[in-house]
Amino acid sequence: MTFLETIAHIVDLVPVLLRVTTPILLAALGVHISQKAGVLNLGVEGMMLAAALAGVLASAASGSAWVGLAGALATGAVLGFLLSFAIHVLKADLILSGIALNMLAAAGTTLVLYMLTGDKGMSGSLSSGVLPSLAIPLIADIPVLGRLLSGHHVLTYLAFAMVPVVAVLMMRTPFGIRLRAVGESAEAAATAGIDVARMQIAALVLSGLLAGAAGAFLSMGYVSWFSQNMSGGRGFVALAADLMGYGSAWGTMAASLLLGAADAFVISLQGKGIPSELLQSLPYIVPIVALVIHARARRKRFVRI
Amino acid sequence: MMITAMTRRSALRAMMLAASTSVLAVAATGAQGADAKKIVFLVNGNLGDKSYFDLGAKGMDLVKQKYGDQVETKVIEMGTDQTKWLPTFQDVSEQDYDLIIACTFEISDIMAEVAPEYPDKTYVLIDGVMPYDKGDYGNVYSVVYKQNEGSYLAGIFAASLLKDGVVPGSQGTSLGFLGGMDIPIINDFLVGYVEGAQSVTPDIKIAISYAGTFNDAAKGKELALAQYRAGTAIGFNVAGLTGVGQLAAAKEADKWALGVNSDQELIFKDSDPAMAAKVATSMLKKVDVTLARTYDLFLEGKLPIGTVEAIGLKEEAVGLAETGNMATLAPPALKQKLDEAKVGIISGAIKVSSGFAIDQAALDKMRTAVRP
């Protein structure tokens, strides 16, 4: 392989990396916000799944992919609200509620799909829309840079655009400061006059919105249909990405890219004679290694204090 | 206590009967002959799947058409609630059916539980195997498919499309295989496919990927896109819902897909014709033919009840979808080649390896030989 071919090969892999990373990053940013508010959103997987179905249904009913996206976002937000309702009003356990939400979404989406279409496995019989990919004028025509920056899915751009938005929201706004104060110490925040429940509801609704966008990417970006359990554990990968992100939105992005890179690497290594069992375990080895490094680094930090 | 238990049990039965009659879908009942046989097809799910269950119901129709009022057929949809399957099975077993038929491996556990309780009834399990060595299943007939034979035809078809230039070389020079997992049943498809393709082009290249999941359409699409990028023109998906992602990749990359089990062209025929147009053909497991054949054998007293039987091309139980895109894509010479291969396999002149029997070293050697 010549040098130029190698470069071309790497350039080819960038769109793969960005596609694989998009749902993880969107969901991970959602987890990040919830974690900062002290209500880690364990239901992110279920929110993605339910939103993926809602997007397809809303799009098929309206004939517009954008209405589909709105449906997916709304579903994520409503589920985020329900989760906070369970915690604050019903006083349910945060972790159990999150797990329950995942189980409900897994079975509930199949049930709804069947009731509306008569199909159990997938929504192939519905003609639902797909959100577009965007070609950036001028940049699209530049040889290598065009491939790298232009022509990606609209939600891919949204995912990466959300990183600075979330970073600023959390670190530089009064809302973000209150939210983090609640997450650091709910009692202290309450003493200072912050409405803890309201902040945590807001955090989970925002978290649900981002998980909804991640779900929409799966059913209206990657493919044009919903299928049973199509989230495929990406919500849990997003939880890992958040934990690996050192509590910052930029760190979460870096972690999401690392996990996405592991996936993209495995995809490009398929069919090269490497045992498939080894390949399939790689995307799970990466977070384990990263979390070990993370834990060691954190212990050192505590020692310093 | 005993009486209470029994009353409770019969009350339960009555409730189950009421519950199951509410979900009964009677496919066909007609004027019955004096000694009409009664057969029932239990759907562990619902009709409308465009796959096994719809084909099974079609098989029941075939039986009804052939035997008219000599047979009473019924299709019962048990729904997706698995807790209903066992009571419905027991309820049906209490009645006077001559044959109780169900399909997919998902139902095998329930059949394994119910069949020994009703030794005078006869059960049929399609595309699944009873654990005959672990229990007394002398009243269950299991039938599985020789998917390697059908996949052999898929291999000939795909390799010939490339060789004959129907799919131009500009679209790619190799074939693809997208498997769900690296397990014997998936590799049974693979070895047939590879041998079929090699019979046309001995040095054919086939990109092989395993997704590790049967649910992740996005991953299936990404793996298929990677194959298409690397020069695959026609890919064969054997990965359930993951595999359907290949169709989205074929549409996006303007390449070709081969479906599996049921006719995947039909999934998107109405909702997304552009995607359906990229499904060159599908390797079918013909549950309808299987069901009709089973009943014929049963009437003749030749059904090997209490054993597992593998059926393939000889029984017309596997094969390519020949309607739709395949009809226009394949030149007459290719159709003839496929027919000749079919005759060869049936007569034994062509031996197709099995993914269940092949040893790991031979499998690795085969995969290495076709690596692009």
Nearest chain B residue to A112, by CA: B80
Domain annotation covers residue B80: yes
Residue B295 in domain: no
Residue B177, strand partner residues: B208, B236
Would you state the pLDDT for residue B191? 97
Residue A85 and residue B71: Cα distance in Å, rounded?
Answer: 57
Report which of residues A173 and B213 the model is more confident about.
A173
How far does A266 lie from chain B, in Å, by closest CA?
9
Chain A residues with CB inside 8 Å of B229's CB? 12
**What percent of chain B is modeled with pLDDT above 70?**
90
Nearest to B215 among A126, A228, A280 (CB): A228
Which residue of A223, A226, A228 is the best one to mutate when testing the B interface, meaning the one whose CB has the most B CBs within 10 A? A223
Inside any domain, residue B346: yes
On whether both B364 and B254 belong to a single domain, the answer is yes
pLDDT per position as a tens digit, B47-68 = 777 678 888 999 999 999 999 9
Phi (first) and psi of residue B330, to 5 degrees: -85, 120
Mean pLDDT score of chain A: 90
Domain boundary at B103, B130, B145, which? B145
**Using CA atoms, how far apart are residues B230 and B226, in angstroms rounded to an integer?**
6
What pLDDT is recorded for position A76?
97
B219: contact with A, CB 8 A cutoff: yes
Look at residue A1 in the predicted model and tell me its pLDDT.
Answer: 61
CB pairs under 8 A between A and B: 106
Assign residue B317 a region (left: φ > 0; alpha: ψ between -120 and 50; beta: otherwise): alpha
User: What pLDDT is attached to residue A156?
Assistant: 96
Same domain, B225 and B340: yes
How many domains are there within chain B?
2
The verdict on A193 touching B (C-beta cutoff 8 Å) is no
Please tell me the predicted confidence (pLDDT) of residue A255: 94
User: Which architecture characterizes domain A3-304 according to CATH?
Assistant: Orthogonal Bundle (1.10)
Contacts of A109 in chain B (CB under 8 A): none
Q: Is the pLDDT of residue A274 over 60?
A: yes
Are residue B167 and residue B192 in the same domain, yes or no? Answer: yes
Q: B212 and B70 in one domain?
A: no
Is residue B268 less than 8 Å (CB to CB) from chain A?
A: yes
Average pLDDT, chain B: 88
CA-to-CA distance for A52 and A123, rounded, in angstroms? 11
Q: Any chain A CB within 8 A of the CB of B303?
A: no
Total count of residues recorded for chain B: 372
The CATH number that applies at residue B95 is 3.40.50.2300
Nearest chain B CA: its distance from A186 CA (Å): 39
Q: Name all contacts of A12-17 with Cβ < 8 Å and 24+ positions apart.
A: A12/A147, A12/B229, A13/A264, A13/A268, A14/A147, A14/A148, A15/A147, A15/A151, A15/A152, A16/A264, A16/A267, A16/A268, A16/B222, A16/B225, A16/B226, A17/A257, A17/A260, A17/A261, A17/A264
Asked whether residue B133 carries a pLDDT value surpassing 90, the answer given is no
The answer for A 253-292 residues in CB contact with B (under 8 A) is 267-268, 270-273, 275-277, 280
Residues B2-21, mean pLDDT to the nearest whole number: 48
Same domain, B111 and B179: no
Of the candidates A27, A11, A68, which has an alpha carbon nearest to the alpha carbon of residue A256?
A27
Cβ-based contacts of B227 with chain A (< 8 Å): 270-271
Question: Which of B78, B112, B145 marks a domain boundary?
Answer: B145
Q: What is the mean pLDDT of residues B266-291?
A: 93
Residue A302: predicted pLDDT:
61
Residue A127 to residue B215, Cβ atoms within 8 A: no
- How does residue B248 score in pLDDT terms, banded at 50, 70 and 90? very high
Q: What is the CA radius of gyration of chain A?
A: 20
Domain membership of residue B136 as a residue range: 12-145
Model confidence at B25, in pLDDT bands (50, 70, 90)?
Answer: very low
Angle among Cα B28, B31, B34 to the nearest 5 degrees reads 120
Chain B nearest-CA distance from A125, in A, is: 6
Q: How many CA atoms lie within 13 A of B190 on its CB side?
A: 28
Closest partner CB to A270 (pick from B216, B223, B268): B223
* B22 contacts B57 by C-beta, under 8 angstroms: no
Please determine, for residue B5, whether its predicted confidence score (pLDDT) is greater than 70: no
Query: Which residues of chain A are within 8 Å of residue B82 when distances are taken between CB atoms?
Result: none
Q: Name residue A277's amino acid.
A: E
Last residue of a domain, one of B145, B172, B203: B145
Q: Which of A238, A190, A213, A215 is nearest to A88 (CA)?
A: A190
Using a CB-CB distance cutoff of 8 angstroms, which residues of chain B are in contact with residue A110? 80
Q: Is the pLDDT of residue B28 over 80?
A: no
